[in-house]
Amino acid sequence: MKINIAQIEYDPIDIEKLKGVLSGLDGITCFPECFALGRSGIETLQYLNKISHESKTIIEEIKKTGKTVILPLIERHPVMRNRFYNTTYIIHDKDLIGSYRRVVVHPMERAFIQSGKDFPVFEIDDVTFGLLICFEIAFPELTRIIALKGASIIFVPASTPEEADYLWEVRLKARAIDNQLFVVGVNRCGKVGNETYIGRSMVVSPSGDIIYECNDNEEIKTIEIDLAEIMKERSREPTFSEFEIEVYDKFLERFGDSSIQNINRS
């Protein structure tokens, strides 16, 4: 299976740049998180209003490419003024097939961003995957919910700055090992205001090995992954199959749905 990391100085208003990135790519392409710190409060609010106003146009233009894209944008709250969702959209076969609103909002974003409520999974060409956004990868419970819904891959669009560099790789590898699946962290690079973003996008295997890691510059990279590695690792070290789901029943009742699968112990 092909995964494309689009580690760029991400500004979705620049639709032509996005189209240029997608040109010639096959497989699933993931862009970095849209929200980024570094601007003043007023500048951030202006930026969020601008992106949310243009989101429908951006989505329509990306649909026309016919590519499969994980596209982080900003969604305006339908009722509350100057409140937004940090929303990532899934585009496939010229159609919008779903979206994910970030649930766990970083404290520095709460002045602007409203929390979502669900952790959906998506299926494309018989491959099930989920999403977490940036800071959310710090919470092992969230990746476990997505894994229990049958995901083979968790994509993590991010805006991770220099001061969180020491956490980025460790958390991605830990969540891959926790659930014995692939984790794909796609981080922005470059500067936004007074913040510098580290890049270092990476694909981590179910055993915690880094299959590929970008440097701190713009880079578009296609990585082939073998989903058979998931069952191989889960057979070799049966931690996922021995998970006592009953311990988390109440937690899962809040965030799960009928798609949460029982773990096959056979």
Q: What is the mean pLDDT of each run of 10 residues along the chain (266 residues)?
A: 97 97 96 94 95 97 98 96 96 97 96 96 97 97 95 98 97 98 98 96 98 98 98 94 71 57 40
DSSP 3-state assignment of 120?
Answer: coil
Rounded Cα–Cα distance for residues 221 and 114 (Å): 32
Residue type at 246?
Answer: E
Q: What is the pLDDT of residue 255?
A: 62
Are 62 and 18 a contacting pair, CB within 8 Å?
yes
Enter the DSSP assignment of 182: E
Domains of the chain: 2-255 (3.60.110.10)
Q: What is the value of pTM for the model shown?
A: 0.92
Rounded Cα–Cα distance for residues 69 and 186 (Å): 13
Are 223 and 5 a contacting pair, CB within 8 Å?
yes
Q: What is the pLDDT of residue 249?
A: 67
